[in-house]
Amino acid sequence: MSDGGSPPGSKIPEVHLALPATPEFVRVARVTATGLASRAGFSIDEVEDLRLAIDELCFTLIGSKGREGRLELQYRLDGSALEIRGSLDCVDTDVPHLSDWSNKILDALVDEHEVGRTPGASGECGFRMLKRAG
């Protein structure tokens, strides 16, 4: 990124990441999210919450064994809020959903979250989450 010297919390460009939809690459998604959150001034506890939430959401999409294709991630930092969207191709029979337990975990970790078919995109499933600092 070209704005490496900007102050914490300042607006930076969106970050797009495409990864194989396998568990071993979720770490890259997590590191990217926590790096951006740290840059935005999130506390250590908020960064850890974000780390856990991105794991939960990515594994909801790809499953514990992974799947064919790519997991596309979009990170958008706007002041003290970080929005993350994840998507991948899916068929009607494998539209992801959150268990009651996962919903409770995510409710405690982030400000907003949703999982399911991506609106306006045929054959695409995804998630959206928003975490605000402070």
Q: What is the CATH number of the domain that holds 113?
A: 3.30.565.10
Q: Residue 55 falls within a domain, yes or no?
A: yes
Residue 39 φ then ψ, to 5°: -60, -35
Q: Residue 44 falls within a domain, yes or no?
A: yes
| Centroid of chain to Cα 81 | 13
Summarize pLDDT for 71-81 with one digit per residue, the tens.
Answer: 999 999 988 89
Residue 43 φ then ψ, to 5°: -70, 170
58: containing domain: 15-132
In 3D space, the residue among 98, 5, 80 whose CA is nearest the CA of residue 36 turns out to be 80
Q: Residue 7 falls within a domain, yes or no?
A: no
Q: What is the pTM of this model?
A: 0.85
36 sits in which H/E element: helix 26-39
The maximal CA–CA distance of the chain, rounded, in angstroms, is 46
- DSSP state letter for 102: H
- For residue 115, count CB atoms less than 10 angstroms from its CB and return exposed for 0-12, middle for 13-18, buried for 19 or more: buried
Q: Residue 81 falls within a domain, yes or no?
A: yes
Q: Residue 10 falls within a domain, yes or no?
A: no
Q: Residue 72 falls within a domain, yes or no?
A: yes
Q: Residue 2 falls within a domain, yes or no?
A: no
**Domains contained in the chain, number:** 1
Summarize pLDDT for 86-126 with one digit per residue, the tens.
Answer: 999 876 557 788 889 999 999 999 999 999 887 666 678 99
